[in-house]
């Protein structure tokens, strides 16, 4: 097998860095320079009759405990991809066999003094050789030499150079094993060379694979909880690692230029040209090389479906339980329909690994594999290995963790338990769990095809359509399986939605995105012409079908693009979602019991997840306040890129929060559950959600954004920070009078309001680690703005109201609570004289037509 090195590749959206550390004197023997030996006898001096040899990318020879590579002239200066993966990891580690450590581009070249140099290729800038400026680019860039290998022999007849690689592979080389950062994560020190060795090397026509065992001395610290068990017991940690050398295509695949309106992963570099007046960034998407078979070229030109010359094949790890393999294969094959829209049939195939074929290796980078990990983590991921010159996806090793089924179970019980009887128990039927596995497999495969998350896809579905069985049968509940739109939690029991339509599937956007990325164009079409055609395709397609809109990955302030949400109206969707949670909560004890001897561990976990789902609904709504719609456009399109969320919708969101989080959700605080579970976090989870919401609503980022919007859109009656803060204050405090009385939850709400208002006014007054960090962030947003002035104004107003109200109150605990808050405010702004109440507009009603969801 093979070993690896590091390159640095500039990625547009996803950054992958290989750490290049200092190399030891590996691969060198003797005291002086060695002279290359060119005769057959010289070759035989090293590669004796006792040698074990293999032919492949490099011919590999093993003589005793030494390994030699025979590098042909034809491979000199050819770029190769070096991928390093774990094969086996120590117990307690967060990584598993099959996971990637690094990915780097290298090349071998003939150097002076009879050496073969190993260089790292750093693709940062480039220019066409036809342009004079290419000389300037070449003069400005030099790739680092990582190692110099003395040439042991040169076979002129074969045109090959013999080098010894034993010491280099066995050295403490972060390019072949762990980077310094990775060693820090594992708390490792130096390599124990006497306990490290090359396990085997195998070579194939396009790749060479190295397996090594590396043992590191472990650090010893005071906190044993953060150390690996092996480190505690033995003082050392042993890893098994695979390194793959993969020959990159001699002619790179034609690049497809990136468009931010379509969700593809991408790479980029700076491109120079003689006719430029400024440097361009050449950004291109990641995709597989799909080409028609030569005999089908005429069919393809006529628009007929054709099979690709080399289909995308994913093998299922033989470690995968057999009962789940058919569902994983289905999840892979589900993408066939998308590739048909791009002109290819049978373009992607899932199949079981041929377990009795010794010629195949799971670590071989020629094969794409869904690796199955025996792990307590609840996760799956879909990476890909990419030719950095063109964006061509070469292979993928999907990671699948066994305990993901636990996550899928709880998601489905909580989101679909109100409408699907099969979800109401701790052990799902094989068919149900299989379908849940299938949808996740499809999602992860989508990533390996180059697709990013599309968190805006679910917004294309009107909320009421999520309750329409006929509509769902045709369209599904989201337009993309690349969204985090798990299950249809909006559907109500009376809607009688078939269970298959509660789950996501390949949607309109997925088919269109594959068509956009994988459709082929005439070879004589220039990249500029192709870009124009693809750009117009976006404009025409999305304007005709808004379901094809790419809504990004939910990292901006656009409430349309959120994780775990559904529908085009968060307030309406969350109301339906909470109604279903209210139906589920009374049955959690029954549904989580497997036998009478069970403890309440399952109940505890499912209840936590239910509270988490409730929290998701709350924050889906909160993002509308101060939200900004972000719709990327080209200059040839009509409409604005940035627009604020409508004022009415923001006010509706605030009233929703009043109904569902400012008022205590007693339906969620069930004694039959809370008295059975022991976790303090479960009991306080609702309060923590409320406090997080209040911190979020009074955050400097939100209020400074609202300030900017109110100034920018002054003529459009925006939701100003002062109006928003007045509305929020009225909902939290209401009308205090002689009959005013608070409960424990309300007092916590009001304390949270005051502490966050104080932090907004004076960030250095924040208490607690998290609050302090957020305050520092807030400080940068609010300095020299009106936000701090408004915070002070609200504190003064509240202080005056409390002082006037306390004397007429009768409830002792409420009086104590208000006295406490009065002192907290005074400690920051001092004690002020009472103000004429005519000058304290506390305040108008926050009334909005059509408000729903009153408890």
Q: In this structure, what DSSP letter does residue 277 have? A: S
DSSP letter for 659, please: I
| CB-based contact 628:718 (threshold 8 Å) | no
Q: Which residues lie across from 714 on neighbouring strands?
A: none
Q: How far apart are CA 85 and CA 87, in angstroms?
A: 6
pLDDT tens by residue, 563-595 = 999 999 999 999 999 999 999 999 999 999 999
User: What values do phi and psi take at 801, rounded to 5?
Assistant: -65, -40
* 213 class by beta-carbon count within 10 Å (0-12 exposed, 13-18 middle, 19+ buried): middle
- The SS3 assignment for 323 reads helix
Say what the pTM is. Answer: 0.85
CATH code of the region 294-568: 3.40.390
177 vs 101: CA distance, rounded Å: 8
Between strands 348-352 and 312-316, the pairing is parallel
DSSP 238: E
pLDDT winner (highest mean) among 34-38, 665-669, 783-787: 665-669
Q: What residues form DSSP beta bridges with 680? A: none
| Banded model confidence at residue 2, pLDDT cuts 50, 70, 90 | very low
Residue 730 sits at the vertex; the CA angle it makes with 727 and 733, to the nearest 5 degrees, is: 145
Query: How many beta carbons lie within 10 A of that of residue 431, not counting itself?
Result: 10
Whole-angstrom distance, CA of residue 202 vs CA of residue 197: 15
Q: How far is CA 818 from CA 31, 344, 807, 823, 834, in A?
A: 83, 70, 11, 9, 16
Q: H or E segment at 822? A: helix 812-829
CB 547, CB 509: distance < 8 Å: yes
Beta strands in 65-206 (DSSP E): 66-72, 80-88, 100-111, 115-120, 125-127, 145-150, 153-155, 160-164, 188-191, 197-203
pLDDT value for 510: 98
Structure token digits, residue 158? 């074969």
pLDDT for the residue 754: 96
Check residue 664 and report its DSSP letter: -
* pLDDT at position 766 over 90: no
Give the rounded distance of the alpha carbon of 126 from its chain centre: 30
Check residue 180 and give its pLDDT. Answer: 79
CA separation for the pair 199, 432 (Å, rounded) = 42
- pLDDT value at 214 more than 70: yes
Return all residues near 77 (Cβ < 8 A) that are at least 6 apart. 107, 108, 109
Map out the domains of the chain as residue ranges.
8-247, 294-568, 616-839
Task: Compute the mean pLDDT over every residue in the chain, rounded to the nearest whole number.
Answer: 86
Q: From residue 625, give the alpha-carbon distance in Å to each of 352, 642, 723.
A: 49, 15, 12
Find tokens 């959700």 and name the residue. 665
Sign of CA dihedral 686, 689, 694, 695: positive
Q: Which range has the worst mean pLDDT, 1-5, 49-53, 185-189?
A: 1-5
791 burial level (CB within 10 Å; 0-12, 13-18, 19+): buried
DSSP letter string over 34-86?
Answer: PPP--SHHHHHHHS-TT-EEE-SSSEEEEETTEEEEEEEGGGBT--EEEEEEE
Encoding tokens for residue 463? 């909320």
Q: Specify the pLDDT at position 132.
A: 59
Closest CA to 439 of 397, 500, 371, 383: 500
Which residue has 């680690």 as its token pair? 769
Nearest to 262 by CA among 603, 551, 683: 551
Per-residue pLDDT tens digits for 677-722 = 866 556 688 999 999 999 999 999 899 999 999 999 998 999 999 9
Q: What is the pLDDT of residue 618?
A: 98
Residue 854 has pLDDT above 50, yes or no: no
Angle between helices 430-448 and 404-416 (to 10 degrees): 110
The average pLDDT across 832-841 equals 49
pLDDT at 821: 96
Confidence of residue 398 (pLDDT cuts 50, 70, 90): very high
pLDDT tens digits for 469-522? 999 999 999 999 999 999 999 999 999 999 999 999 999 999 999 999 999 998
Report the alpha-carbon distance of residue 160 to residue 152 in Å, rounded.
Answer: 11
Predicted confidence (pLDDT) per residue in 256-287, tens digit: 999 999 999 999 876 645 455 555 667 899 99
Q: At 227, give phi and psi (nearest 5°).
A: -100, 155
Instruction: Report the C-alpha gap between 210 and 169 in whole angstroms.
Output: 9
3-state class of 376 per DSSP? coil
CB of 202 closer than 8 Å to CB of 1: yes
Contact 657, 618 (CB under 8 A): yes
Q: Which of the four pLDDT bands, split at 50, 70 and 90, describes residue 222? A: low
pLDDT of residue 551: 94
| Count of helix runs (H) and strand runs (E) in the chain | 25, 28
Residue 327 has pLDDT above 50, yes or no: yes
Higher-pLDDT residue of 743 and 740 is 743
Give the C-alpha separation, 116 to 110, whole Å. Answer: 5
| pLDDT band at residue 307 using 50, 70 and 90 as cut-offs | very high
Joined tokens for residue 64: 């005793």
Contact 742, 750 (CB under 8 A): yes
Specify the pLDDT at position 73. Answer: 94
Cα–Cα distance list, 198 to 150, 241, 300, 330 (Å):
20, 10, 48, 38
Helix, coil or strand: residue 18? coil
Which has the minimum average pLDDT: 3-12, 94-103, 148-157?
Answer: 3-12
């Amino acid at each position: 097998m093979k070993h690896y090195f590091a390159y640095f590749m500039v990625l547009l959206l996803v950054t992958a860095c290989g750490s290049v550390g200092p190399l030891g004197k590996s691969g060198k023997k003797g005291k002086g320079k060695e002279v290359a030996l060119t005769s057959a006898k010289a070759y035989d001096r090293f590669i004796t009759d006792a040698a074990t040899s293999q032919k492949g990318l490099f011919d590999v020879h093993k003589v005793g405990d030494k390994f030699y590579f025979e590098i042909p002239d034809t491979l000199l200066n050819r770029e190769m991809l070096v991928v390093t993966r774990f094969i086996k990891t120590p117990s307690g580690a967060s990584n598993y066999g099959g996971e990637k450590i690094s990915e780097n581009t290298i090349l071998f070249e003939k150097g002076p003094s009879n050496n073969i140099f190993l260089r790292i290729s750093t693709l940062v800038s480039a220019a066409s050789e036809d342009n004079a400026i290419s000389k300037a680019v070449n003069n400005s860039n030099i790739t680092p030499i990582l190692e110099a290998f003395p040439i042991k022999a040169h076979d002129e007849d074969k045109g090959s150079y013999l080098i010894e690689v034993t010491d280099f592979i066995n050295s403490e080389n972060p390019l072949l094993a762990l980077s310094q950062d990775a060693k820090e994560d594992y708390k490792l020190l130096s390599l124990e060379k006497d306990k490290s060795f090359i396990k085997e090397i195998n070579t194939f026509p396009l790749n060479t694979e190295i397996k090594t065992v590396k043992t590191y001395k472990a650090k010893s610290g005071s906190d044993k909880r953060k150390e690996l068990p092996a480190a505690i017991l033995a003082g050392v940690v042993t890893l098994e690692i695979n390194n793959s050398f993969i020959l990159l295509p001699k002619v790179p695949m034609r690049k497809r230029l990136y468009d931010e309106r379509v969700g593809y992963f991408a790479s980029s570099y700076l491109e120079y040209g003689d006719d430029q007046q400024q440097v361009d960034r050449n950004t291109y998407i990641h995709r597989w090389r799909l080409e028609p078979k030569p005999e089908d070229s005429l069919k393809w030109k006529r628009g007929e479906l054709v099979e690709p010359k080399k289909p995308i094949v994913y093998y299922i790890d033989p470690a995968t339980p057999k009962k789940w393999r058919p569902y994983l294969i289905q999840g892979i094959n589900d993408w066939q329909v998308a590739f048909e829209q791009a002109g290819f049939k049978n373009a992607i195939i899932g199949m079981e690994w041929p377990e009795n074929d010794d010629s195949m290796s799971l670590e071989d980078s020629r094969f794409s594999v869904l690796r199955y990990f025996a792990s307590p983590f609840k996760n799956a991921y879909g990476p890909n290995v990419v030719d950095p010159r063109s964006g061509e996806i070469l292979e993928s090793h999907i990671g699948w963790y066994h305990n993901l089924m636990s996550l899928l179970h709880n998601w489905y019980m909580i989101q679909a338990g109100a409408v699907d009887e099969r979800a109401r128990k701790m052990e799902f039927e094989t068919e149900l769990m299989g379908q849940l596995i299938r949808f996740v497999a499809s999602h992860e495969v989508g990533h390996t095809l180059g697709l990013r998350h599309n968190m805006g896809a679910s917004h294309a579905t009107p909320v009421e359509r999520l309750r329409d069985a006929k509509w769902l049968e045709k369209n599904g509940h989201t337009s993309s399986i690349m969204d985090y739109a798990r299950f249809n939690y909006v559907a109500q029991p009376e809607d009688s939605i078939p269970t298959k339509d509660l789950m996501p599937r390949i949607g309109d956007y997925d088919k269109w995105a594959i068509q956009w990325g994988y459709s082929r164009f005439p070879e004589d079409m220039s990249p500029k012409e192709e870009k124009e055609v693809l750009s117009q395709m976006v404009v025409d397609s999305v304007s005709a079908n808004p379901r094809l809109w790419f809504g990004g990955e939910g990292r901006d302030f656009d409430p349309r693009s959120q994780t775990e949400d559904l529908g085009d109206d968060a307030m309406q969707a969350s109301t339906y979602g909470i109604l279903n949670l209210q139906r589920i909560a009374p049955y959690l004890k029954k549904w989580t019991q497997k036998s009478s001897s069970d403890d309440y561990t399952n109940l505890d976990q499912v209840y936590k997840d239910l509270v988490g789902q409730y929290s998701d609904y709350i924050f889906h709504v909160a993002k509308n306040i101060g939200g900004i719609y972000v719709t990327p456009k080209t200059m040839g399109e009509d409409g604005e890129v940035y627009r604020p969320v409508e004022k009415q919708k923001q006010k509706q969101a605030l009233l929703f929060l009043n109904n569902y989080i400012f008022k205590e959700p007693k339906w969620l605080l069930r004694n039959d559950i809370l008295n059975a579970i022991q976790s303090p976090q479960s009991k306080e989870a609702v309060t923590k959600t409320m406090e997080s919401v209040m911190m979020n609503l009074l955050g400097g980022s939100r209020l400074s954004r609202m300030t900017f919007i109110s100034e920018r859109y002054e003529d459009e009656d925006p939701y100003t920070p002062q109006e928003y803060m007045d509305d929020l204050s009225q909902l939290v405090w209401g009308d205090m009078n002689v009959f005013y009385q608070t409960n424990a939850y309300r007092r916590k709400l009001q304390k949270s309001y005051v502490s966050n208002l104080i932090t907004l006014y004076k960030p250095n007054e924040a208490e607690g680690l998290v609050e302090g960090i957020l305050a520092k962030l807030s400080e940068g947003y609010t300095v020299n703005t009106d936000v701090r002035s408004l915070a002070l104004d609200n504190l003064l107003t509240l202080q005056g109201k409390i002082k006037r109200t306390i004397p007429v109150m009768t409830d002792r605990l409420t009086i104590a609570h208000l006295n406490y808050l009065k002192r907290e405010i005074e400690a920051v702004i001092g004690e002020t004289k009472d103000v004429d109440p005519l000058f304290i507009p506390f305040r108008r009603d926050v009334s909005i037509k059509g408000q729903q969801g009153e408890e």
